[in-house]
């Protein structure tokens, strides 16, 4: 098992802080900023791994993470939101103060579950940045809960992206990344998915006059 370098530790800290802030913040610009920070940190972790393991194929992956997740996706979402005239104030089932608590709790639960799972024990000797493995499970859980608790389309979209960041972190941690061709396929799918979701939220805003998901209640049995 490798001891993480100072740079890796810094990136890990930024990754966690960005994720928890995404869970909590209630204004779109600040939410996108925190998501950008966590995505940059993910790119940094890929770079750290490329350096520590001499895995040069991770350098283009790191560049793609920053280009797509930290620049392109937030740009698309901000652009769509501004053009649709949506309120930048987002809505959630939780108050901001309670969000910090719930976010921290969910994240800790994710880490606890991962530590209790066979993933860690079996990871001895395989793991690339083993400490990232339980963190990635925590981030996945935070993204999932964020999608459930948030009540507007844009926050749900960012919740999905947070979840996807957790999965990308897991692939770095457990497997040292996935084959580059597949990695680009996955990022393309994420990018197209984000564009489609942003387009739909734009249309929903135009039709319903709001992004609030509580208005999407016509289809019932």
Partner 1 sequence: MTFFLSVGILLIGSAVCLLPNMHGRMLRAIGLITSIITLVTMTWMLGPVLVGLTEGWQTSWWDVTPFASLVALLVVWLYACAMGVSFHYLAVEERKEILSLRHMRLYMVSVPLFVLSMLVAIFANNVGLLWVGLEATTLSTTLLVSFYGKKSSMEAAWKYIVLCSTGIALGLFGILVLGYAGAGAGLHEAEAFRMNLLQDVAGTMNPGIVMWAFVFLFIGFGTKIGFVPMHTWLPDAHSKTPAPVSAMLSGILLNVAFFTLLRFKVIVDGTLGNPDWTNQFFLFFGLFSILLAAFILLIQRNYKRMLAYHSVEHMGIMGVLVGLGPVGMVGFTIHMIGHALAKSTLFFGAGELLQRFESTKFYLVHDVMRRAPRTGFLFLIAALFLIGVPPSGLFLSEYILVGEGLTRSPVIALLALLGITMAGLGLSRHLFELLYSPVVPEEKQDASVETGNLAHTVMTVQLGAALVFGIWMLSGAGWEMVSQIAKSLTPL
Give residues in contact with partner 1 (CB under 8 A).
117-119, 122-123, 126, 140, 144, 147, 153, 156-157, 160, 163-164, 167, 170-171, 174-179, 181-182, 185-186, 188-189, 192-193, 196-197, 200-201, 203-204, 207-208, 213, 216-219, 221
- Minimum gap (Å) between residue 94 Cβ and partner 1: 19
Q: Would you give the DSSP letter of residue 124?
A: T
Give CA–CA dist 44/178, Å, rounded.
16
Q: Would you say 10 or 111 has its CB closer to partner 1?
A: 111
Q: Which is nearer to partner 1, 95 or 116 (by Cβ)?
A: 116
Nearer to partner 1, 10 or 91 (CB): 91
Least CB distance to partner 1 at residue 71 (A): 21
DSSP 3: P
Q: Where are the alpha helices (DSSP H) in the chain?
A: 6-24, 28-52, 58-64, 73-84, 96-116, 118-123, 132-149, 153-175, 180-208
List, as one string, the DSSP characters of 151-173. Answer: -BHHHHHHHHHHHHHHHHHHHHH
The distance of closest approach from Cβ of residue 144 to partner 1 in the complex, given in angstroms and rounded to an integer, is 7
If the CB atoms of residues 72 and 144 are measured against partner 1, the closer one turns out to be 144
Residue with Cβ nearer partner 1 (97 or 220): 220
Cα distance between residue 140 and residue 122, in whole Å: 20
Cβ 4 to partner 1 shortest distance, Å: 19
What is the closest distance, in whole angstroms, from the C-beta atom of residue 27 to partner 1 in the complex?
A: 22
Q: Which is nearer to partner 1, 66 or 140 (CB)?
A: 140
How many C-beta atoms surround the C-beta of residue 184 within 10 A?
14
Select from 202, 209, 99 the least CA-distant residue to 153.
Answer: 202
CB of 86 to partner 1, least distance (A): 14
Task: Determine the Cα–Cα distance for residues 65 and 213; give it in Å rounded to an integer.
Answer: 29
């Amino acid at each position: 098992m490798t001891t993480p370098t100072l740079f890796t530790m810094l990136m890990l800290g930024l990754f966690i802080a960005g994720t928890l802030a995404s869970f909590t913040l209630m204004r779109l610009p600040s939410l996108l900023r925190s998501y950008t920070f966590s995505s940059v940190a993910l790119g940094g972790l890929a770079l750290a791994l490329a350096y520590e393991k001499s895995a040069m194929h991770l350098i283009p992956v790191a560049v793609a993470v920053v280009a797509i997740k930290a620049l392109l996706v937030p740009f698309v979402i901000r652009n769509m939101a501004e053009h649709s005239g949506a309120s930048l104030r987002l809505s959630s089932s939780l108050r901001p103060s309670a969000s910090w608590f719930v976010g921290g709790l969910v994240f800790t639960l994710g880490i606890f579950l991962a530590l209790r799972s066979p993933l860690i024990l079996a990871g001895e000797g395989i793991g690339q940045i083993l400490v990232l493995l339980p963190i990635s499970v925590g981030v996945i859980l935070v993204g999932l809960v964020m999608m459930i608790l948030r009540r507007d389309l844009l926050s749900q979209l960012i919740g999905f992206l947070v979840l996807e960041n957790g999965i990308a972190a897991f692939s770095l941690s457990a497997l040292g990344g996935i084959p580059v061709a597949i990695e680009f396929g996955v990022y393309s799918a994420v990018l197209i998915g984000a564009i489609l979701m942003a387009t739909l939220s734009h249309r929903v805003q135009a039709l319903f006059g709001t992004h609030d998901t509580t208005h999407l209640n016509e289809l019932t049995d």
